[in-house]
Structure 1
Amino acid sequence: MLTMDDIIRDGHPSLREVAKEVQLPASDEDIEILASMLEYVKNSQNAEKVKKYGLRPGIGLAAPQINVLKRMIAIHLNDEKGETHSYALFNPKVASHSVEKAYLTSGEGCLSVDESIPGFVPRYARVTVKGFDIEGKEVKLRLKGLLSIVFQHEIDHLNGIMFYDHINKKDPFSVPENAIGIER
């Protein structure tokens, strides 16, 4: 089982590397890693398990964050409507996106970043993501709102990009042009 000790912190060189494609069909080892990533994210949202295992709550995790430089992400969250979404994907990529932008009004956080970094992170309001699920089946997801933002955050990790790289350094709370604010 993954714990907070498995998550590398900001400043670790792996967080700035571009992750490699996962060879498909995925190896048993890659399937096991991806499944454990999803298990961590789910467990981190369970108050009992957070206390028992000393987990920090999160809604997404990318393989580079556990020092595995492969294109794998796990996401588990309840969206604005209270619907639960759970994904574990190999080789996810943004296939298309809206012109309209979105940002979380509370800003973004990251399991690899211990301190709070204030500011708005401009993202695309809607994205279409393609990838492969844990069984190796191709998936195409049309996402909007919080789910779209979380996918973009995790896919950024696969490209060595941190959320704060997107924050306007001169004016962190300037509202991105043509953007909708999303409450979290």
Structure 2
Amino acid sequence: MITLTDIIRDGHPTLRKKADELHFPLSEQQLQLASDLVTYVKMSQDPVLAEEHNLRPGIGLAAPQVNHSVRMFALHLTENDELLSRIFINPKIKSHSVEKTYITTGEGCLSVDEDIEGLVPRYARISISAFDETGKEFSMRLKGLKGIAFQHEMDHLNGIMFYDHINQENPYASVPNSIPYERHSAKENLES
């Protein structure tokens, strides 16, 4: 089981490396890692389990964040009463909107302990493809918090941190051609 102590922090070299593609069939260790990533994000959102196991709440967790430089991440979040809970292996963004979006309160990250203020521009809509643990390919269209979280985790696979996208001179500078994303509940106020 992954706990908070397994999550590496900002400054660790693995967070700045481009992660390696995975090959199927996955090894037992890789299958366990996939399971552990999903388990962490699910358990971290349950207040009782989070306290019991000392888990910081999160909606996404990428393999590089637990010092495994492979192209795999988990998401677990509900938006508009639709649950997205799965592992993404060798994910790709196939296409994206010109229009951007950003979370009005900024983004957080399980690998970053301090609050870093500023707007993080993301594509408003994306079409993606990825593989599940069995090697079966799937495609999805994502927008809103799901699309933002996917892009945040995808960045981890490419050695990019969310704050790399923030305008350093003016962290709250307006984002041209964008629609702001407002969080609607405390449950959405989680990190990835």
Q: TM-score range by the shorter chain?
A: over 0.9
Q: Which residue of 2 aligns with 1:114?
A: 113
CA shift at 1:31, angstroms? 1.1
State the alpha-carbon separation in 1 of the partners of residues 172 and 95 from structure 2: 27
TM-score between both structures, scaled by the size of structure 2? 0.94
CA shift at 1:106, angstroms? 1.0
Q: Which residue of 2 aligns with 1:76?
A: 76
4+ runs deviating over 6 angstroms: none
State the alpha-carbon separation in 1 of the partners of residues 6 and 19 from structure 2: 17
Identity %: 55
Q: What's the secondary structure of 1:32's corresponding residue?
A: helix
User: Please, which moves more after superposition, 126-135 or 44-53?
Assistant: 126-135
Q: Which residue of 2 aligns with 1:57?
A: 57
| 2:181 aligned with 1:167 | no
TM-score between both structures, scaled by the size of structure 1? 0.98
Q: Deviations over 1:101-133 (max 9, x none)?
A: 000011000000000000000000001111101
Q: Which residue of 2 aligns with 1:153?
A: 152
Q: Which residue of 2 aligns with 1:36?
A: 36
CA shift at 1:85, angstroms? 1.0
State the alpha-carbon separation in 2 of the partners of residues 131 and 139 from structure 1: 6
Question: Which aligned pairs between 1:125-136 and structure 2 lie closer than 5 A?
Answer: 125-136=124-135
Q: Which residue of 2 aligns with 1:93?
A: 92
State the alpha-carbon separation in 2 of the partners of residues 179 and 31 from structure 1: 38
Q: Which residue of 1 aligns with 2:17?
A: 17
State the alpha-carbon separation in 2 of the partners of residues 7 and 173 from structure 1: 29
State the alpha-carbon separation in 2 of the partners of residues 159 and 86 from structure 1: 22
CA shift at 1:89, angstroms? 1.3
Paired residue total: 183
Q: Please provide the CA RMSD for this pair.
A: 0.7
Structure 1 residues without counterparts, runs of 5 or longer: none
